């Protein structure tokens, strides 16, 4: 599969049926064959195979069957992404309520399960995730202590804790994952922030309060296209008149499409990666003003590479926690996602919105200045911890 000379990747099918299924529906069946063990990579890795295939989009001509399947999936995408409260809860549990020890094998020490922000080549994953939190805090303009901040999709709590400790905000975080909520609440108690940080098991549609700042990272991909209007209308109602929101989400640098069927079946049921052309009109209709858009191109590819390498380095531990099939599934998920960001027009966007355009400084240099202040706060916090531990 390298063109000439010694192949860099060599695969073997264990059944003829697996070959036929991949020819008919490669989007779904390639991942299923790897997961089920009917496609075995004998030379190279799954990442090498997917890198080779996905870097050459014209390598395979779609069959009539695959064209018909694509049409059917496009026709049914709104049904697949219909996420009322009960279904949202189930979808979240499918992925995020796995054994927490599994995530600790490959995430950074703060358990940031979203795109990191690499400020320079070779930056460590932990430093890049810290830079992501700092970058978001800077865009939120936390210019006075005690600001009420909402974190929609708070995960294991790391971002909310950063906003409280470094930004001085009073934080409310909501999640639909019971596993994540338990960890997040224990971290609040460990840090003595019970009066400043409140994490809840709550759907964003049911939040009653208003907030001066809202942040949402890695959650919008689970909203579903039919619910974008609801999401941004709710954000409008939750924001104070001079409030600021930053939305961080995976996106596509191409027209609207569908969720990869293997990802939808095994990893993120109900999920969808939007095009900006699907998001911006809903923001406008909700009465919100877009004040900044930033596109992070290869940052998620580098994040996923780090996650994949860490996962593979702890593969034996992952097998003990799960089983062989799960590990093949997870390796395919991490490798496939990485190569999608490298080769198939996937990206991450950060959109800053407000109800009042005067709430944001006139030029973007406030972001770098705020990051400098936050770095100083981080340094002072580390120094205090070192002194306390002496």
Please write the tens of the pLDDT for every residue from 145-165.
999 999 999 999 999 999 999
Both 65 and 100 in a single domain?
no
Confidence class of residue 51 from pLDDT cuts 50, 70 and 90? very high
Same domain for 46 and 171?
no
Could you give the C-alpha distances from 271 to 147, 250, 256, 323, in angstroms and in order?
32, 11, 14, 25
CA–CA distance, 60 with 45 (Å, rounded to integer): 20
- Whether 255 is covered by a domain: the verdict is yes
Indicate whether 3 belongs to any domain: no
Please report which confidence band the pLDDT of residue 302 belongs to, taking 50, 70 and 90 as the band edges. very high
Whether 21 and 162 share a structural domain: no
Query: Between 357 and 65, whose confidence is greater?
Result: 357
Residue 21 sits in which domain range?
Answer: 10-75
Instruction: Give me the mean pLDDT over the 62-72 stretch.
Output: 64
Residue 130: closest CA among 158, 102, 151: 158
303 phi, psi to nearest 5 deg: -65, -50
The pTM assigned to this predicted structure is: 0.89
pLDDT at 1: 47
SS3 helix, strand, coil % of the chain, rounded to 5? 55, 15, 30
Domain-located, residue 343: yes
The residue-averaged pLDDT of 217-232 equals: 94
Q: What is the mean pLDDT of residues 108-128?
A: 96
Confidence of residue 114 (pLDDT cuts 50, 70, 90): very high
Which tens digit of pLDDT belongs to each residue from 255-280? Answer: 998 888 898 888 878 889 999 999 99
Distance CA 152, CA 135 (A): 17
Q: Please, which pLDDT band fits residue 377 given cuts at 50, 70 and 90?
A: very high
Domain of 190: which CATH number?
3.40.50.150
Mean per-residue pLDDT, 269-295 = 95
The angle formed by the CA atoms of residues 3, 33 and 1, to the nearest 5 degrees, is: 5
Triad 289, 293, 297: Cα angle to 5°: 160
Q: Is there a single domain that holds both residue 139 and residue 90?
A: yes
d(CA 123, CA 119): 7
pLDDT score of 61 more than 90: no
20 and 95 housed in the same domain: no
Count the domains in the chain.
2
Q: What is the mean pLDDT of residues 187-213?
A: 97
pLDDT: which is higher, 86 or 11: 11
My answer on whether 364 and 382 are in the same domain is: yes
Nearest to 262 by CA among 18, 32, 17: 32
* In a shared domain, residues 70 and 160: no
120 has a pLDDT exceeding 60: yes
The larger pLDDT score, comparing residue 131 to residue 345, is at 131
The mean predicted confidence, pLDDT, of the chain is 90
Does the pLDDT of residue 295 top 60, yes or no?
yes
**Residue 175: per-residue pLDDT:** 96
pLDDT at 2: 46
Extract the runs of DSSP E, i.e. beta strands, from the chain.
10-13, 39-43, 148-152, 170-175, 197-201, 211-217, 239-252, 289-296, 346-354
Find, among 333, 350, 328, the residue nearest to 260 by Cα.
333
Percentage of the residues of the chain whose pLDDT score is greater than 70 = 86
Instruction: Evaluate whether 102 touches 318 at the Cβ level (below 8 Å).
Output: yes
Say if residue 4's pLDDT is above 90. no
Question: What are the structure tokens assigned to 364, written together?
Answer: 């973007």
């Amino acid at each position: 599969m390298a063109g000439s000379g010694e192949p860099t990747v060599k695969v073997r099918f264990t059944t003829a049926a697996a070959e036929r299924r991949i020819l008919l529906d490669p989007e779904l069946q390639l991942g299923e064959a790897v997961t089920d063990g009917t496609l075995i990579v004998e030379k190279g890795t799954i990442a090498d195979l997917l890198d080779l295939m996905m870097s050459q989009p014209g390598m395979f001509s779609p069959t009539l069957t695959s064209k018909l399947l694509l049409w059917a999936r496009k026709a049914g995408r709104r049904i697949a992404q219909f996420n009322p409260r009960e279904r949202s809860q189930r979808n979240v549990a499918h992925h995020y309520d796995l054994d927490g020890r599994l995530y600790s094998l490959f995430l950074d020490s703060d358990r940031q399960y979203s795109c990191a922000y690499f400020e320079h080549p070779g930056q460590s994953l932990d430093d890049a995730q810290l830079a992501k939190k700092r970058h978001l805090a800077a865009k939120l303009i936390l210019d006075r202590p005690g600001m009420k901040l909402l974190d929609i999709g708070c995960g294991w709590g790391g971002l909310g804790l950063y906003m409280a400790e470094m930004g001085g905000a009073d934080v409310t975080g909501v999640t639909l994952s019971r596993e994540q909520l338990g960890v997040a609440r224990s971290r609040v108690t460990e840090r003595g922030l019970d009066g400043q940080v409140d994490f809840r098991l709550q759907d964003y549609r049911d939040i009653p309060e208003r907030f001066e700042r809202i942040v949402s990272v890695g959650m919008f991909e689970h909203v579903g296209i039919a619910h974008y209007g609801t999401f941004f209308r709710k954000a409008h109602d939750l924001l104070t008149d001079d409030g600021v929101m930053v939305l961080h989400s995976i996106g596509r640098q191409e027209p609207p499409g569908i969720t990869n069927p293997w990802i939808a079946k095994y990893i993120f049921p109900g999920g969808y990666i939007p095009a900006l052309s699907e998001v911006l009109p809903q923001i406008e209709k909700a009465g919100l003003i877009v004040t900044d858009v930033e596109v992070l191109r290869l940052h998620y590819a580098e994040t996923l590479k780090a996650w994949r390498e860490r996962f593979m380095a702890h593969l034996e531990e992952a097998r003990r926690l799960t089983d062989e099939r799960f590990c093949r599934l997870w390796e395919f998920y991490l490798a496939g996602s990485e190569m999608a960001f490298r080769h198939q027009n996937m990206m991450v966007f950060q959109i800053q919105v407000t109800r009042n355009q005067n709430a944001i400084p006139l030029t973007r240099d406030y972001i770098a200045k705020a990051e400098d202040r936050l770095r100083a706060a981080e340094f002072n916090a580390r120094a205090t911890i070192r002194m306390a531990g002496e």
